[in-house]
Chain A
Amino acid sequence: MGSEIVRALKGVSFTVEQGEFVTIMGSSGSGKTTLLNILGCLDKPTSGDYILDDVSIKKLSRNELARLRNKKIGFVFQAYNLLARTTARENVELPLLYNSSITLKERHERSMKALASVKLEDRVGHLPNQLSGGQQQRVAIARALVNEPVMILADEATGNLDSRTSYEIMSLMQELNQQQGKTIVFVTHEPDIAAFSNRTITLKDGKVIKDTKNENVRSAKDMLMSLPTNDDY
């Protein structure tokens, strides 16, 4: 059994403009994860190039990639990936620890600001296991925001959440996109989540099969309002 080279992405080419809210769709095996890894500067394409904020990553070293991730990208993961036994605030401050130009005072200010923008200013001292799934994901979003990245990269960020909390998160995403002009790239396989974005790129077998502007953006806030207010389980 020799090792077989699998080409996960073939001739994929697209541009994401600043301030866009893009969802990347595709079934499993379509190359979503590989694309995400490249977009997130975790991996380099074997051929071709990826230009993030005017920087070509082709020739960057491991350490330079790490620096780029730290400054320009905010990750939001499906499984939140918060550090256990670490408070919400310390979790949010984590990316700033790897940026030596930021002082302690600035770190505190920025982490508070980021937590405030996800409406968790009253939960700063809580540990992840004292927070609900939605709250944990909001902490993760605050962590992605804290370094003021050029792009927020969300990987199935609503995958572990029920629909109400998903709408909450999406409403937050829309708010960040519309009010603060954040560029968001959101990977998902749920079409109803994609409906909240401005643009949807669909992958299949490593190729872009559809790249459509969404003329009719749904408001997650309205969806949230339309849900019955008190779920009596």
Chain B
Amino acid sequence: MLRNKLRAFLTMLGIIIGVGAVIAMVAIGEGSKKSIRDQLSGMGSNMITIRPSSNVTVGGGARLGSTGLQTLKVEDADAIKKQASYVTSVSPAVNANGQAINGSLNWPTTMQGVSPEYLGIRDWKLKDGISFTQADVNSAAKVCLIGQTVVENIFTNGEDPVGKIIRFNKIPIKIIGVLEEKGENTFGQDQDDIVLAPYTTVQKRMLAIPYVQTIYASAMDEQSSTLATDQVSSILRKQHRLKAADDDDFTVRTQAELINTISSTSQLLTVLLAAIASISLVVGGIGIMNIMYVSVTERTKEIGLRMSIGARGLDILLQFLIEAILISITGGLIGVALGITASKLVTAFLSWPTYITESSIVLSFLVCAVTGVFFGYYPALKASRLDPIEALRYE
């Protein structure tokens, strides 16, 4: 077999493609998983989101959506800030949609009212200018920070937006800073299409509401986010004077939960791709078996000769088995190289993220070694059981 290079190569091809496919597929699956995880972590992996939710059914059983609920107050945010030891920063948040206008240019966007700590919670940075302060919050100052998309749409001629006064829903507001570009998030939302202002400004001047829609907080680190969540829940229950039997009138979500949910989805993708690729590995194994059978038949005379000069059944068995294993392992090695190359090419040309895991390499390599043994064993056994007399006479 080793002296018949083309046949050996064609036999190997099945294994090569099988192993290569497994590695490339798993790399693609893992890559997408990893990139989602990275992006979510980029959003602040220790971020905690608190939204109101209805704990009472009103009227005919319809429950209200979170935006309609008014249960979260600025005082809740203050209480969390003061009492929760695992929470480092807290920011109330209110959103107002509207038109940002600069002279003749305008752009529909969202104004988010937050506290100065919000930038830290989201891990957002300023590209230019300064952030607003607690003093601005206290005075409901008409200052804001704008995102890159807003800059591009209402400052078309490249002028510096910092210090300019724009109008948002007819209210003049001064730009004191520009946010760094962040691109789209995992869900395809443009994170740069935003205007940040003190939450008091949005509450009082834009929406005229006393409550807040969301409270963002950040846990000390990723590990303590569960503990922080529990603290936040108990503090809010106390704040809202809920009895032990009452349901929460809020929901507390951590980014970690979201990461897990999405990771498990892409885990499914990885498993699916690997399963499909494994099929080709099995087909490759059957290819080996087929060729080994042909090889045994074709070399019956040689087997007879080897037996007549003293080869035991075991020697013949080992000879064919080693041949099969050698083919599958060589195929496996080439397959590993092919898989890695294919993953790199996918990243290079399709710019899909790929991530090659050692486990997928080790696993597919082991599988192909086992394939060699499994599919090589029966032909080898057949060869070893030949009768030397008949084998010698075989033409």
Contact = CB atoms under 8 A, between A and B. Distances in A.
B310 A69 contact: yes
A43 interface: yes
Contacts of B392: 42, 77, 81
A42 B393 CA distance: 12
Contacts of A37: 389
Contacts of B198: none
B388 interface: yes
Interface in B159-173: none
Given A83-B302, A83-B305, A99 B310 contact: yes
Given A43-B389, A77-B392, A85 B3 contact: yes
Contact of A98 (B302, B304, B310, B389): B310
Interface in B261-315: 301-302, 304-315
A85 B302 CA distance: 12
Interface in A62-96: 62-63, 66-67, 69-71, 75, 77, 81, 83, 85-86, 94-95
A67 B314 CA distance: 12
B310 A95 contact: yes
A89 to B, nearest CB: 15
A148 to B, nearest CB: 13
Contacts of B302: 83
Nearest to B307: A66
Interface string B44-55: 000000000000
Interface residues of A, number: 23
A63 B308 contact: no
Contact of A62 (B304, B310, B312): B312
Contacts of B314: 63
B272 to A, nearest CB: 45
Contacts of A66: 307, 310-313, 315
Looking at A37, A42, A143, which has the most chain B CB atoms within 10 Å of its CB?
A42
Contact of B389 (A42, A77, A85): A42
Nearest to A82: B305
A7 to B, nearest CB: 17
Nearest to B313: A62
Contacts of B310: 66-67, 69-71, 95, 98-99, 147
A135 B183 CA distance: 80
A69 B308 CA distance: 7
A42 B308 contact: yes
A94 B315 CA distance: 12
Contacts of A63: 312-314
A40 B3 CA distance: 30
A69 B309 contact: yes
Contacts of B388: 42
B295 to A, nearest CB: 14
A101 to B, nearest CB: 12
Contacts of A40: 308
Interface string B302-331: 101111111111110000000000000000
A98 B305 contact: no
A98 B311 contact: yes
Contact of B312 (A43, A95, A98): A98
A157 to B, nearest CB: 14
Nearest to B302: A83
Nearest to A67: B310
Contacts of A75: 308-309
Given A63-B314, A83-B302, A94 B389 contact: no
Contacts of B307: 42, 66, 69
Interface of B: 3, 301-302, 304-315, 388-389, 392
Interface of A: 37, 40, 42-43, 62-63, 66-67, 69-71, 75, 77, 81, 83, 85-86, 94-95, 98-99, 143, 147
Q: Across chains A and B, which 10 residue pairs bring their CB atoms closest together, nearest first?
A: A70-B310, A66-B312, A95-B309, A85-B3, A98-B310, A81-B305, A63-B312, A69-B310, A98-B311, A42-B388
24 contacts: A37-B389, A42-B388, A42-B389, A62-B312, A63-B313, A66-B310, A66-B312, A66-B313, A67-B312, A69-B309, A69-B310, A70-B309, A71-B310, A75-B308, A75-B309, A77-B392, A81-B304, A81-B392, A83-B302, A86-B3, A94-B306, A94-B309, A98-B306, A147-B309
Given A43-B389, A94-B309, A98-B315, 5 more contacts: A37-B389, A70-B311, A81-B304, A83-B305, A99-B310
